[in-house]
Structure formats: C-alpha cells, structure tokens
Structure 1
Amino acid sequence: MAYHKLALSSLIVNPANDRHGELDSEAAAIAHLFATQEGHMRNLAKDIVLQNEVFEPPLVYPEGDKYVVADGNRRTTCLKLLTNPRQAPTVELQEFFAELKSKWSALEYIECRVEHDLDRVDEILFRRHTGVQKGIGQSNWTDRMQNNFVTRTGKGNGVHIADEIEKRLQAAGLLPSKKIPRANLSRLLSSEPLRNRVGISIKKGQFEIIRNEEQTLSVLRRIADDLAFKRVVLGDIWDTDSKSRYIDSLNREGLLPAEQATTKSEKKSKTPDISAKAKSARATKQVRWPHLIPNVKHDVVWGAHLQRHREIWEELQFRLNIDVHLNAISVLLRVLLELSIDNFVERAPCTTVHENDKLATKAGKVADQLFAEGSINKKYQGAIRKLQQGDGLLSIDTLNRYVHSPNFNVSPEHLRMLWNTLSEFITLCLRV
C-alpha cells in the first residue's frame, strides 16, 4: 500500500465500476453516475467546493500511463467536472459546474491510494462495500451511533448552526474582528440542551432565539470571540463534559440569558383542560408506547459520567416492554432514581445530604435544593417529599419493595404513575 499525489488528469473514472457494470468509456461512466444519482452528485460537488478538500483518497490502480479509479469514482468525477465543466453530460450540468468552478480553488493533484495487485483491490472493495460480513467488512452505524455523532459534532442536523449564529451577530454588529472557527462553534452547540442554555433552539429544522434576545446575542458574541481568538480551542470542547464545563464557566460569570417571562394568558394556554387531556389519552391508547419512558426528548446532556444512567434510560425507553418485563423495569427504575440522585448530590453539589441518609431522605433534600434554586415549584417539591411516606402507593418504600419483596406484585399502570411523578425529578438530577 502506498499513497501518492497524482495529477487529476491522470485518473480515469472507471468504465467498469461495479455501480453500473461495464460501459464503453469514461464519458459513459460519468453520464451514468448523473443519470442514476444526480442529486447526490450535485451535493458532493458542492461539499468539495465548500471544503476545498477530499477527505478520503481514491483507491486506484495503474493502467499504462494512467490510473483507473477502483473506489472513489464519484469524488473523482466531481473533481474532473470542476476542472472542466464541459465534460458534464448535459448543458444544465455544465452550467452548474461552471458556477461552482468560479468559487473553487482548483486541485491539480489529489492524494490517492495506489495498489498494483488487482486481487488486493478486490479484497479492499469486498470489505468496504459488501456489508458487515460477520465483522470482516465495514460495520454500519446504528441510529444511536449516528445520533451520538450528530450530538458530538453538530454535523448532519439539517441546520448549519454556525451560519445562523453568524447571520444574527452580523445583523447586530457583534461579529468578532477575527474569523470564527465555524466547525468548533457547531460542535460546541451540537446538542439541544446546550443550545437552550445559551438561549437558542433548533426544532423542526428551524433556528430560533428562545430567551432574552439581547442577552442571548451577548453570550453568543462572547462564545464567538473566545473561539475566534483561540481562548477556547477544539481540545477544550471535544466531548460533552468539556462543552458543559465551558458553558458552566459562562454561567458562573453571569452571562447566560434569562428565560423569557411567561404571561398569565400564556400560562393558561399551556395548561390543557380535562377534555384535551381526555382526547390525548384516547389518542395515546390507540397507539400506546410499549415502554416505560415516553418517546420524547428530555434534554439530558449525556456526558461520560452518565454512561450507565444512559444505558438504563434507553432500556426503559426503547427496549423493555412494560407488558412483558415488569420486574426488570421496576428494578431499573429504582436504580435509575438512586443513580440520578447521587449524580445531583455529587455534582450540584447538595451538601445537606449525608452518607448514611436513606434514599427517601436524599430525595427530599434534593427536592428542597431544587425548590430553593427555582428549578421546581412548591407543589412538586411537596410531591417528591411525599415519597418519604412509607404507606403511600407512590413512595420510595414501594420502589424498595419492588426490589426486595418476594410477594409484591408489579402493574404497568403503577409503574407509569411512578414515572409520571418522578420523570421531571430524575431529569433535573441528571442535568447538573
């Protein structure tokens, strides 16, 4: 295996590409790529121009004084047409590539992986493009893996966060004097909970300011400034914990925006009446979610310290069926509650909790602190404190009996009641 910088003019788009089978010329291969996936080819060309880079070197093999592309034909095609738009198969595509060429810093040479043994080329293609092959081939990411990547980097969520922030800072005359590292800005604000903390949100593909606009623009200006002048670099915001630490530092400086005040009429409109609740219940009954935790976002930033918490949460939200796995769900709910409380006690911190306090006592003390901080209201504080009453149906004692009693029966309805009571409390304990 060797990597070499090769002249783009020396590469041949493969007429025998496995995407389409054998064709009679490079021009026919190029035409076929656009005939079958024009939208993808256009988007790839735009990305190459935007990045001015090809991230994965094409795999090539020599044929005379040229090199045939075994893998990377789409990339190579786009590069060739950006260099010479007249090679595009239609007038419309020629105009498209001519316009892109005007914005592009031409690449005369491209790094390629050169293999002389065609059997080896086929072995590489087999591992790249024929599926997992029991672990031999490339293993595709699951939905969760893809979501982890988007959450970590901010890429692929449909809205370019850095673009949106730059537009608003520019309109307000708040852009820093140096260029903002856009990739780092998107990475920092890649998850909805972190975006919400600085006063912005992305919902249904729309960017919006959700807190005091002046304060939000001010903290966004500070973030942009820190990144532009390299007071904060990629290593400072690489993972969820480091991003949270940076946002926490802005909070300690009093820079995070206040939530918008809610009017009485708005509060009233947010409180559904009984008929609305009944309609919602009927709709839920028709297509009932089969797990304990509803399929909605709870805005928890899943840092590395919450790895086990997240695994339990996802089992309760996506894997364990509430009509089948009652005992497993009841035990895991009890474990999740305790781990969440311990997380709050350690990271908030909650200094009133003592090592020998029982779980119910810990829950009450944490609820008191959340109330004092303004995170919950008096009514909800009371609801959590009532969990200390051993004779209550909704109590910590009931959860303990789920774990320890050989005669205690578990019901789906009771578990759902417990979750409805505990969900906000658990979520708040995980957010610190």
Structure 2
Amino acid sequence: MTYKKLALDALTVNSANDRHGELENETAAIGWLFTNHEKAMRALAKDLAETGEVYEPPLVWLNSDAYIVFDGNRRVTCLKLIARPKRAPSVELQAFFKGLKESWSGTFPTRLECQIEPDRERIDDILLRRHTGTRGGVGRNPWTDRMTATFVERSGKGGGVNVADDIEKRLQAAGALPARKIPWSTANRLLASEGLRNRVGISVTRGKLQLTHNESLVLPIFRRVAEDLATRKVVLGDLWDNEGKVAYLDRLEAEGVLPLPPLPSPGAGSSIPPNPNPGSDPNVVPRPGPGGPTAAPFAPQPPAPKPSKRTTLIPQVNHAVVWQAHVQRHRQIWEELQFKLQLHDHPNAIAVLFRVLFELSIDNYITRTNLTAVHSNDLLKNKVKKVGADLEAKKKIDGKYASLIRKLDNADGLFSIDTMNRHVHSPEFAPSPSHLTALWDQASRLIVVCLNA
C-alpha cells in the first residue's frame, strides 16, 4: 500500500465501476453518475468546494500511464468537473460547476493524495470489505443489492460457490490436473457470471455447481482452461472485465474447444437449466466419486418451490446475460422490465420497451458477428430469420427453437413480429399481462443469446 499525491489529470474515472457495470469510457461513466445520482453529486461537489477537503484518499490502480479509480469515483468526478466545468454532461451542470470553481476558497488542488494498489486482487478485497456489507459513514454512498451483485459477478468474490475448487476436484478425479497449481481467484473471476459458466458447461443452481452436459464433453474444456491459467498463458489482467472474459472464451470457440452442443429449448420463463433428469437423458451429468469421474450420478433434486405470482415481464431468475459495455442501453431497458414496470399497471409501456429490447438485441447480434447476410433495408422479421439461421448453423440453438424463430413472420401467431408491432402501433390491439408474458417466455432465449454475442 502506497500513498502518493497524483495529478488530477492522471486519474481516470472507472468506466467499469461496480455501481453501473461496464461502460464505453470515462465520459459515459461521468454521465451515468449524473443521470442516476445528480442530487447527491451536486451535494458532494458543493461540500468539496465549501471545505476544500477530500477526506478519504481515492483507491487507484496504475494502468499504463493512467491511474484507474476503483474507490472514490464520485469525489474524483466532482473535482474533475470543478476543474473543467465544460466536461459536465448538461448546460445547467456546466454553469453549476463553473460557479463552484469561481467560489473555491484558496488554491484549487491539481494534485490529490491517493492510495495506490498495484495488486488488483487486493483492490477487490478492499472493495469487498467497504461496500458489500451493511456499513454506514459520512460521505459514503452504500451499494445497492444490484451493485453488490455486479461486483460479485465481475470479481467472483463473495458469491458463496467456489467454482474453481469444484473444477479442480473433477479434474483430479479424472487424473487430468495440470502440472502447476490452478489459480483459484483467476478461475473464479472468469466463471463468476452464469452466462460465462454456461459456455463451459456448468451452472450454479441453489448455491451448488452442476454440469449442464455430459462430463466427457465438459472435462476437456475444464482441462484447457485450467492449463491456460496454471501456465499463466491467461492471467488475471486478461480477465478483468466481461469484455476480456468473453474474448478468451471466443478464442476457445474459434479453436474448436467450444461450443458445447446446444441444450434443449427451455420451458417458459426459465433460463438455461441444468439437466433435470440424468437417468433418462443421454447427456447424463455425473458427479466425481471414489470410483472415478463417472462413479455416482447426481441425486434427484427436491421439488422446486411454488413460484410466486409474476408481477414483471422478466421473471426474477438468472437469465445468464453477460453484460458488456456495448449493451448498457439494453441493460437499462432490461432492468426496467425486470424490476420497475409492473405488468398490471404498465402494460403499454412494457409492450413498447419489450419491442425495443427485442430489436436492439437482434441488431447487437448482427453487429457483433458481422452477419453479412443481413442488408440495411431488411425488415425486422427478415433480420430475425437470418439471425436464427446463423445461430442454428453455429449450434447455439437447437432445431426446435430455430423452427419457432422461423415462424415469427406468421401474423396469426401470438409469438410473432406482427404481434409485437401491433402492441406498439395499433390503437385497437391492447396488450394484456398474459399475452406479454407469453411473448417474453418464447422470445427470452433469443434475446439472451443475441445480447451475449
């Protein structure tokens, strides 16, 4: 741990702050803080100007020639905007910060004492203790449950399941451990998100790790990942954010290590589930035991608790979306549909936002995969057909679900582009909660796959 005065211009507001997840750049991160916390940001900036004090040094990490702020982003943002009011995201805020700059008593600080940590793993340990528990204190803005979840998903800390330990035990039982020790912290960071876990054939359900495919298919993937991490071919810095994690798994896919065969189409309202009935499925999911990796099958799962009444379009389950910086608008819409808008109170708003999310997701897949079969003048139904065909060809969806996607241009069907459009544009076609949830239950898998492209 080192404390040192650093130039304010050398500090970079973290675009992957756990308050919001990954954004494009520092400007987007500053904009998010004022979009979501303008009142608090104004109060903090005013306090800084009146006292001329920063009572807690920002926690920073040196990245190339810039220091990334991991704790203290709000303070650093306010100081940056007081120093350069034109960087504020609105005319009103520019005037506000210009006034603070003019009223600053004494010499404005161009250098700021910071806590410099070269070890990013230690930085996460510090953040874990500062933000993920019930803690108060003057000047502290506690994380919400969702902010805490973002931290857990990014870092792999505090999630309750040691994925790396389970993988190591499976490899050991199969006699496939690498020669060097697997760095657990790096493996847990890579597989902290359900969407990324699904890509390597595992899922965390009710606090336990399960395989989603036959162990003979999954073990070679475990072995390759373990070897890459143990030999430091892939290091912690390569997997620091979701962009890096996805890029690594994409490389494995390009090399033929991935993908796994697609799972059968899930039931309504579900995310990708683990194998529910190992005794009757060829993709039996074994658990390692004394006799080797296939000695004992999974015990039958207890019956799922009776679901509570659904009040939002997106049910409160893990849909395994890997939220990357380029899908932040999509994430905002998703969270409104999952946490804010109520089916019985806001059916029209939900219908419109669902249609927007659906098309943005399709366009994201087209852009990220450079799908040349799609033309600029293609209607949405043609885009969807081509995306569905590409997903089936790449074995990211099964034939049953691909067939369902092909039927989306059927105007008479409930799950159709025409139905989505009429929900938005028709003065006589009123969306009902039951129709909206039925649409979501059919479309959710396509949306998730396209968001994860």
- TM-score w.r.t. the length of structure 1 is 0.60
1:177-326 → structure 2 map (5 Å cutoff): 177-256=179-258, 258-259=260-261, 266=280, 287-326=308-347
CA displacement at 1:236 relative to structure 2: 0.9
Superposed CA offset, 1:93-120 (max 9, x none) = xxxxxxxxxxxxxxxxxx9xxxxxxxxx
CA displacement at 1:211 relative to structure 2: 2.8
- From 131, 138, 147, give the equivalent of 2:136: 131
Q: Is the 8 A contact 2:365 2:451 kept in 1?
A: yes
Q: What letter corresponds to residue 160 of structure 2 in structure 1?
A: G
SS in 2 for 1:423: helix
Gaps in structure 2 of 5+ consecutive residues: 4-55, 58-114, 116-132, 265-274, 283-303
Distance 2:349 2:153 in 1: 29
Q: Is the 8 A contact 2:183 2:230 kept in 1?
A: yes
1:94-105 → structure 2 map (5 Å cutoff): none
State whether structure 2 residue 378 is matched by structure 1 residue 357: yes
Residues 391 and 158 of structure 1: CA distance in aligned 2, closer, same or farther (over 3 Å): closer
Q: What letter corresponds to residue 144 of structure 1 in structure 2?
A: R
Distance 1:410 1:349 in 2: 34
Partner residue in 2 for 1:122: none
SS in 2 for 1:266: coil
CA displacement at 1:186 relative to structure 2: 1.2
CA displacement at 1:301 relative to structure 2: 1.4
State whether structure 2 residue 144 is matched by structure 1 residue 142: yes
SS in 2 for 1:299: coil
Would you tell me which structure has more helix in proportion to its own residues? 1
State whether structure 2 residue 348 is matched by structure 1 residue 327: yes
Residues 144 and 371 of structure 1: CA distance in aligned 2, closer, same or farther (over 3 Å): same
CA displacement at 1:351 relative to structure 2: 2.4
Partner residue in 1 for 2:443: 422
Residues 175 and 148 of structure 1: CA distance in aligned 2, closer, same or farther (over 3 Å): same
Q: Is the 8 A contact 2:409 2:417 kept in 1?
A: yes
Distance 2:225 2:399 in 1: 35
CA displacement at 1:194 relative to structure 2: 1.5
SS in 2 for 1:180: coil
Q: Is the 8 A contact 1:338 1:359 kept in 2?
A: yes
1:11-50 → structure 2 map (5 Å cutoff): none
CA displacement at 1:208 relative to structure 2: 3.5
Partner residue in 1 for 2:159: 157
Superposed CA offset, 1:376-395 (max 9, x none) = 44554343333323455543
1:370-389 → structure 2 map (5 Å cutoff): 370-389=391-410
Number of matched pairs: 295
Distance 1:174 1:379 in 2: 35
SS in 2 for 1:155: coil
Q: Is the 8 A contact 2:200 2:260 kept in 1?
A: no
CA displacement at 1:322 relative to structure 2: 0.6
Distance 1:398 1:351 in 2: 27
1:83-94 → structure 2 map (5 Å cutoff): none
RMSD: 3.6
Distance 2:400 2:173 in 1: 43
State whether structure 2 residue 372 is matched by structure 1 residue 367: no
Q: Is the 8 A contact 1:130 1:137 kept in 2?
A: no
- TM-score w.r.t. the length of structure 2 is 0.57
Partner residue in 2 for 1:176: 178
Q: What letter corresponds to residue 360 of structure 1 in structure 2?
A: K
Residues 171 and 409 of structure 1: CA distance in aligned 2, closer, same or farther (over 3 Å): closer
Residues 168 and 358 of structure 1: CA distance in aligned 2, closer, same or farther (over 3 Å): same
CA displacement at 1:357 relative to structure 2: 0.5
Superposed CA offset, 1:193-214 (max 9, x none) = 2222223333223234443424
Partner residue in 2 for 1:121: none
Residues 403 and 191 of structure 1: CA distance in aligned 2, closer, same or farther (over 3 Å): same
CA displacement at 1:220 relative to structure 2: 2.1
Distance 1:411 1:207 in 2: 37
Distance 2:134 2:202 in 1: 40
Residues 247 and 207 of structure 1: CA distance in aligned 2, closer, same or farther (over 3 Å): same
Residues 218 and 403 of structure 1: CA distance in aligned 2, closer, same or farther (over 3 Å): same
Superposed CA offset, 1:17-48 (max 9, x none) = xxxxxxxxxxxxxxxxxxxxxxxxxxxxxxxx
Q: What letter corresponds to residue 136 of structure 2 in structure 1?
A: G
Residues 391 and 232 of structure 1: CA distance in aligned 2, closer, same or farther (over 3 Å): same
Gaps in structure 1 of 5+ consecutive residues: 4-55, 58-110, 112-127, 269-279
For the pair shown, the structure with the greater C-alpha radius of gyration is 1
Distance 1:405 1:238 in 2: 46
CA displacement at 1:249 relative to structure 2: 0.9
Superposed CA offset, 1:361-401 (max 9, x none) = 11122222233334444554343333323455543233223
Q: Is the 8 A contact 2:191 2:197 kept in 1?
A: yes
Distance 2:237 2:144 in 1: 27
CA displacement at 1:407 relative to structure 2: 4.5
Partner residue in 2 for 1:340: 361
User: Which structure would you say has the larger RCO, counting Cα contacts within 8 Å and 6 or more residues apart?
Assistant: 2
Residues 264 and 229 of structure 1: CA distance in aligned 2, closer, same or farther (over 3 Å): closer
Distance 1:177 1:330 in 2: 54
Distance 1:219 1:301 in 2: 19
Distance 2:171 2:400 in 1: 40
CA displacement at 1:413 relative to structure 2: 2.1
Distance 2:229 2:395 in 1: 32
Partner residue in 1 for 2:423: 402
Distance 2:281 2:255 in 1: 30
